[in-house]
Every structure is written in C-alpha cells, then in structure tokens.
Amino acid sequence: MAPPLTDFSRLCIHTMTTKPWTLEEAARGYAAAGLRGITVWRSAFEGRGPAAAGELVRSHGLSVVSLCRGGFFPHGTAAGRAKAIDENRRCVDEAAALGAPLIVLVCGSAPGLSLGESRRQIAGGIEAVLPHAASCGIRLAIEPLHPMYAADRSAVNTLRQARAICRELSSPWLGVAVDVYHTWWDENLEEEIRACGSESTLFAFHICDWLTPTVDLLEDRGLMGEGCIPVRQIRGWVEAAGFDGFVEVEIFSRRLWATDQAQYVEAIKAAYLEHA
C-alpha cells in the first residue's frame, strides 16, 4: 500500500545534500520541514565533536540514521593499511558518541594495486575493524560504488562483490548500503537485492538520480525524477526484500548547493513523494 501523501516519517537527508548549511542549520531546517532522520557526514562535526553533534540533532527531534563515512582500506604499504584500520576504529568511536547505529563504508581502491588485491585488503580491513564495531554496537555497511570510481574510490562496485565480503566475514554487524546512483545499471540488481534480504544484510538505502549528461563525476547528481534511475522501482525491490528503514537522500550537486537550501528541502520532499 502506498504511504499517505504527507508521510515523511521514513525520509532522511544526508548533511552533504545541503552542504552549504552548518549542522545546526541542517538540523533546524530538516526538523522545520517535518523530517525525522538525518545522516551526518564527519565533515559536518565542524569541531564540535560527535557527542555534541548528536545532542544537537536530537534536540531538534531528529534521529541519526548513519555516519558517513568510513573505509578507504587499500594501501600500497602495510603502514598505510594499519593507519586506515586505526582511522576506521576512530570512526566507530565517533559513531558511538554521535549515537549513529551504522557507518557507511566507502571501501577505497589504491591505484597501483590490482582490483583483486584492493578487494582482499578491503575484506582484511573490515575484518580488523569488526570486533570493535560489534563491541560498540555499530553496524558497518559496505556501499558498492559505480565502476567509474573503481580506480581510486572503491574496488567494490557491485552488490555481488559486497555480498561476497559479507559472506566471507559472516557477521551480524556487517551488511550493505544500496545506493541507486551506484547500482541502477546492474542487470542483476533485483536478484542481488533479494539475496541481501535473505542474508539479512540490507542495512541502508540511498537515493538520488543520474543526470544525462553528467558533467562532473562527483558533484553532479540529480534530484529524484531529474534523471534516468527508476528510483521507485528499486525502492520496491528493496522493500520486497524486507527493508523498512529510512530512505536516505544523498545528493552531491554544485548546481543544487547554489540554490536556497530551505526551498531545496521542500523540492526534495516533493520529489520523494512523486518519484520515490
């Protein structure tokens, strides 16, 4: 059954989506718009520290859905890999202080290493961080990134690759984040989402749209309905697989950052109702 037209109870916005806003402005703005969920990027702490950031957003009636982001495990040297693991343990501490139940992992890829070696190092890095995450009650979600980022941002590019790491490490604290921007092109997407559901690893769902042409590989994402991603269809697959968490709007767009952010939040709500 479709949700009532005014139901924003599962809509969450990433602080990076409204990048021009401070965390305080974002918390106030999302709450004023009637939202309940916020995903906080580490860059949004702005020196106040994760515990104070958590208190701030909760004082506006918002729940922290996730902390973005950990990861970037592969490295050409052992010292570099150890440093990445330390950094991810620190990220777990921050999530605990913030009150975020989940960390999104952008897994990384080291130019100079083969994709296979980068994936092995990613699995090794996650394995090293998992005990600390579990002891803090923080879930880790591997977010496969679009293959255009395979060389430098993530060697995990499909849900199938993410699931393989989840199966290898087999922990209730490890799952996946399905982002439509990164996965919409995958001919196996529906069956992979179904498999994640049956393996209980469907932890997070991110939405936006793919613009044609895309003029910047990082900061030219679209609002739902502006591009070619069948967001509502993919949401249907995710929910059929048992996901009932927040639907997170994560849009990096210099074009949209240049607009009035309060009006933009209203545009997000309208696009969510119409296209998600």
Interface with Zn ion by CB under 5 A: which residues? 179, 206, 250
Q: Which residue has the tokens 């979600």?
A: 141
State phi, psi for 70 to the nearest 5 degrees: -105, -170
State phi, psi for 176 to the nearest 5 degrees: -130, 155
Least separation in angstroms between CB 145 and Zn ion: 8
CB nearer to Zn ion: pick between 179 and 226: 179
Q: At what angle do helices 189-198 and 159-169 cross, to 10 degrees?
A: 20
CB nearer to Zn ion: pick between 123 and 208: 208
Least separation in angstroms between CB 250 and Zn ion: 5
CB nearer to Zn ion: pick between 21 and 149: 149
Spatial separation of the C-alpha atoms in residues 24 and 15, rounded to whole Å: 10
Q: What angle do CA 127, 148, 76 make, to 5 degrees?
A: 45
Q: Please name the residues in contact with 270: beta carbons below 8 A apart, sequence gap of 6 or more.
A: none
Spatial separation of the C-alpha atoms in residues 57 and 37, rounded to whole Å: 9
CB nearer to Zn ion: pick between 19 and 132: 19
Spatial separation of the C-alpha atoms in residues 188 and 190, rounded to whole Å: 6
CB nearer to Zn ion: pick between 27 and 208: 208
Least separation in angstroms between CB 143 and Zn ion: 5
CB nearer to Zn ion: pick between 81 and 206: 206
Least separation in angstroms between CB 135 and Zn ion: 26
CB nearer to Zn ion: pick between 115 and 208: 208
Spatial separation of the C-alpha atoms in residues 69 and 65, rounded to whole Å: 12
Least separation in angstroms between CB 158 and Zn ion: 15
Spatial separation of the C-alpha atoms in residues 40 and 232, rounded to whole Å: 24
Residue 215, burial from CB neighbour count under 10 angstroms (0-12, 13-18, 19+): exposed
Least separation in angstroms between CB 82 and Zn ion: 27
Least separation in angstroms between CB 31 and Zn ion: 23
> How many Cα neighbours within 13 Å face the side chain of 176?
32
Q: Please name the residues in contact with 116: beta carbons below 8 A apart, sequence gap of 6 or more.
A: none
